[in-house]
Structure 1
Amino acid sequence: MTIFAASVFDATVLFEDMELFKGKGAAGMWAEKLAKELEVPITVEKIGTGWALCGKRDGVDCAWGIMGQRLKSIERK
């Protein structure tokens, strides 16, 4: 099963229309899972009041937040 189909039941916050992880620890746990699936380094970065998963995919900077209890790519503002 892909990590993108797994339910994210961790606490979240809304910041500029982005749903992000509320805690760095929870984001870090999901970053490890995402890094394993995509086979690229994934970090957690503070965006406003929440935490996003960040990394490069195919040479392009990417960030992931949450939408509908699933990981979703987000546009960093």
Structure 2
Amino acid sequence: MKIFSTTRLYLVAIISIAGLLRMTYPGLSEFKSDEARLYASSLDFITNLEIPIHGITSSIGIPNFPISTWIYAIP
């Protein structure tokens, strides 16, 4: 039995390329208030050295998981 199927390998490659493009070329994606709040939260995380316990608030009022804030805080 194969550990990694070709479909899984393609999926990982596509997600990796998409993540790399989003992190290295932020101008390729739209930048609206949600992204501004995410970057502000990441900057606050870096400057105050306090790990956020939740991300930005979703449209229905529930806070998102903070993984996006943590990722954008990577220099």
Q: Fold-level match, TM-score > 0.5? A: no
**Between structures 1 and 2, the one with greater helix share:** 2
- TM-score between the two structures when normalised by the length of structure 2: 0.28
**Between structures 1 and 2, the one with greater strand share:** 1
- TM-score between the two structures when normalised by the length of structure 1: 0.27
Structure with the greater relative contact order (CA < 8 A, sep ≥ 6): 1 or 2? 1
Flag the structure with larger Rg: 2
